[in-house]
Amino acid sequence: MLLRPRPFNSSVKVMEEKEVRKSKTKMKQVRKREPAAAQNTNKLEEDMEDYFSKEETHNIRASLLCWYQKNQRVVPWRITSPNTSQEKEEVEAKDQYQLAQRAYEVWVSEMMLQQTRVATVIEYYKRWMEKWPTIHHLAAASQEEVNHMWAGLGYYRRARFLLEGAKMVVGGQSQSQGAQFLFPTTVSALCKVPGVGQYTAGAIASIAFNQAVPVVDGNVVRVLARLKAISANPKDATTIKSFWKLAGQLVDLHCPGDFNQALMELGATICTPSTPSCSTCPISGQCRAFSLCRTNTSVCVTDYPTKVPKTKQRLEFCAVCVVEILNNQGPKTQQGAQRDNVFLVVKRPEEGLLAGLWEFPSVLMDGEADLTMRREAMDCYLKTSFKLDTKKKHCILSRNYVGECLHIFSHIRLRMYVELLVLQLKGGESFLYDKAEKDSLQWRCVDSNSIESIGLTSGVRKVYNMIHEFKQTQLPLDLTSRKRKPI
Ligand code: SF4
């Protein structure tokens, strides 16, 4: 499974070789002045006693670029590097608008690739570019459309940032004015765009604008840690800073975009976390970890980078109630199914986990809770927010516990207990429009066709699929035929 790991952020810029030498001297001075520095920092300083020599840098650049030309994976967001002098001239002659278009493509692909497999991203990227081929098209989209397009990729903040960033970059200009708008080209200017950190800025600046700036993501960290046999904690701020320095030293001054992509590609395909293929690695001759493990059987290249224990995920419990409201005035389909039943969905707060996304009414519990406690909490929520009194039995056509499912976020394991509540309300869904809390809550009713277009997160989709299956297999009869008096 090839995931693009999380980028490593730092404010460090490219270091020319001179600066690296200066920094090395400075590091030694610091060590003299602070003999009691933290063990990790000392270890790092030992590891980085020397940076890449001029010769090493030259060899790594040449080998990696040559390998990349022949071995890069074909993906829709890459363009073939110019080989002939005519192709190079064509690239150099690209106007501002073409460069901005390239920056947009790199930006979208890099945002999608964070924490997501390349194979998964390919289809998402193609669909995205068909719908919003330019940044102007994206800037005119709604958050809901973007969420819908993003559904299933996870980390929805990225989708939000892309839209906010597009609006900011375009700055209200129409597509016809496209040739005049300015896409930020430097790392510092790009970092001002929402959601663009040091990594994404480096990727856009180097790949689209040919600037000699580094990128550091998890793949790059792994390759560098092995190249220099760095055993310091890779999550430590000092270590991260040093990785940026090393990457800054290595980046090729003429082909920075290709070089950065080559380094990441090597980490993703050859220098993998647990089964690196050192025998086919183009830079094994410059790799210290590889050299160490050949002379010392107790050393293995996978000892680098040092493994840091993962933060334990916390377990959370949540009561989820899928409220289905019958609008029983509508005609039935030929199959006899009821038309126009709607589901109540609620927008999550604009900050925090899954910000601004739609979900079924949910209540987070303090801990593990039985059905009675969960129902009490849900009843309270529905009454407070929608004036829905589930104690009035005559409005309830059915209430069934459907089951539980686990949804995993990077830091949370969320156990969702799902029930289906089918209601018949006087006036159908309009009952809610009169009664629901107006100031602090955003909600709506959607039918089974349009629910697919509001950008269901994979967690909400799991719940929806559970409900769908339950209705297919276990809901005993056509509820709409029941004669009950609406409230
Ligand atoms: S030689 Fe092995 S450990 Fe070193 S960079 Fe290449 S694949 Fe990674």
By alpha-carbon position, which residue is closest to atom 1 of ligand 1?
284
* Bridge partners, residue 423, by sequence: 325, 396
Select, from the ranges 98-102, 239-243, 387-391, 409-413, the one with the highest average predicted confidence (pLDDT): 239-243
Q: Report which ligand 1 atom has the smallest distance to the Cα of 223.
A: 5
Q: Look over the chain and give the mean of its residue pLDDT values, rounded to a whole number.
A: 82
| Whether pLDDT at 373 is above 90 | yes
| Whether pLDDT at 26 is above 80 | no
pLDDT tens-digit series, residues 41-70: 445 555 555 588 999 999 999 999 999 999
By alpha-carbon position, which residue is closest to atom 4 of ligand 1?
287
| Whether pLDDT at 447 is above 50 | yes
* Range from 16-20, 39-43, 418-422 carrying the lowest mean pLDDT: 16-20
Residues labelled as active-site residues: 110
Peptide bond into 35 cis (omega under 30): no
pLDDT band at residue 451 under the 50/70/90 scheme: confident
pLDDT band at residue 458 under the 50/70/90 scheme: confident
State residue 11's pLDDT score: 38
State residue 395's pLDDT score: 80
Rounded to the nearest 10 degrees, the angle between the axes of helix 256-269 and helix 198-207 is 120
Alpha carbon of 346 to ligand 1 centroid (Å):
49
State residue 85's pLDDT score: 65
| Whether pLDDT at 113 is above 80 | yes
Both tokens assigned to 341: 């039943």
Residue with tokens 């950065």: 260
pLDDT band at residue 354 under the 50/70/90 scheme: confident
Gap between the Cα atoms of 101 and 108, Å rounded: 11
State residue 384's pLDDT score: 87
Ligand 1 pocket test target in 68, 301, 302, 304 with most atoms within 8 Å of CB? 301
pLDDT band at residue 13 under the 50/70/90 scheme: very low
Gap between the Cα atoms of 291 and 299, Å rounded: 10
Q: Report which ligand 1 atom has the smallest distance to the Cα of 282.
A: 6
Domains and CATH numbers, the chain: 17-303 (1.10.340.30), 314-481 (3.90.79.10)
Gap between the Cα atoms of 91 and 438, Å rounded: 55
Q: Could you tell me which residue, 451 or 194, shows the higher pLDDT? A: 194
Q: Which residues contact 108 (CB under 8 A, 6 or more apart)?
A: 77, 125, 128, 129, 162
**Among candidates 365, 361, 240, which has minimal Cα distance to 308?**
240
State residue 19's pLDDT score: 35
Both tokens assigned to 289: 């970890």
Q: Could you tell me which residue, 7 or 420, shows the higher pLDDT? A: 420
State residue 337's pLDDT score: 56
| Whether pLDDT at 40 is above 50 | no
pLDDT tens-digit series, residues 167-190: 999 985 655 554 456 789 999 999
State residue 97's pLDDT score: 80
| Whether pLDDT at 437 is above 50 | yes
pLDDT band at residue 472 under the 50/70/90 scheme: confident
Ligand 1 pocket test target in 270, 274, 299 with most atoms within 8 Å of CB? 270
Q: Could you tell me which residue, 229 or 333, shows the higher pLDDT? A: 229
Gap between the Cα atoms of 104 and 107, Å rounded: 5
State residue 331's pLDDT score: 46
What mean pLDDT comes out for the span 262-271? 97
Alpha carbon of 268 to ligand 1 centroid (Å):
12
Residues with Cβ within 6 A of ligand 1?
A: 223, 226-227, 270-271, 276, 278, 281, 283-284, 287, 289-290, 301
| Whether pLDDT at 31 is above 60 | no
State residue 313's pLDDT score: 87
- Please give the share of the chain, as a percent, with pLDDT higher than 70: 77
pLDDT band at residue 285 under the 50/70/90 scheme: very high
Ligand 1 pocket test target in 67, 271, 272, 295 with most atoms within 8 Å of CB? 271
State residue 18's pLDDT score: 36
